[in-house]
Amino acid sequence: MNTQPLRVLLIRSDDAKRRLLKHMGGTNRDKTAAAPLVAVLAADTAFHDHLPRTFPHFPGARDLFADDAGREQAARFNATLQVGYFLLGIRAAGLTAGPMGGFDAAGVDEDLLAGTGLRSLLVVNIGHPGPDAWFDRLPRLEVDEVVRSL
């Protein structure tokens, strides 16, 4: 279903940056402080209100998400799929994306997203990498550890 629950909050003001930094964990705080652009990626728990416009051939779509807990779960799942697209899109545009789950999501929701119905999923630093910005590529699992046929 065409739910599109991902929302992007770009942290552009000094005040917003200062408020976000309070909620960042450990070494992520310094990385976020130094990033030229930071995006808070979030799931919109009121995504269903758009369905009459975005899924018009099925008039009952909105009512399928009447249950708050089920709707939040759907918002988080589908927005997280979109986060995958977002990260690849940033990189396809020639920029670097530094995604971080190490932050106080409840704190971000209460502070930067108060009253919006948004739930933060990931904080992403965006910019051009400096010199020697990379770790060596970390080991990947083998194909037969990931893919199985039945």
Contacts to its own copies by CB under 8 A: 2, 4, 6-13, 16, 50, 53-56, 74, 77, 80-85, 87-88, 101, 112, 121, 138-141, 145-150
Other C-beta atoms lying within 10 Å of the C-beta of residue 146: 8
| Least distance from its own copies to the Cβ atom of residue 129, Å | 18
Report the residue number, 13 or 130, with the smaller CB distance to its own copies: 13
* Contact between residue 19 and residue 97 where contact means Cβ atoms under 8 Å apart: no
Q: Which is nearer to its own copies, 131 or 139 (CB)?
A: 139
- d(CA 106, CA 150) in angstroms, rounded, equals 41
State the nearest-atom distance from the C-beta of 27 to its own copies, in Å.
12
Residue 126 host element (H or E): strand 118-127
At residue 74, φ and ψ (nearest 5 deg) are -65, -40
Phi (first) and psi of residue 131, to 5 degrees: -65, 145
The nearest distance, CB 2 to its own copies, in angstroms, is 4
In the bound state with its own copies, the residue whose beta carbon lies nearer, of 35 and 83, is: 83
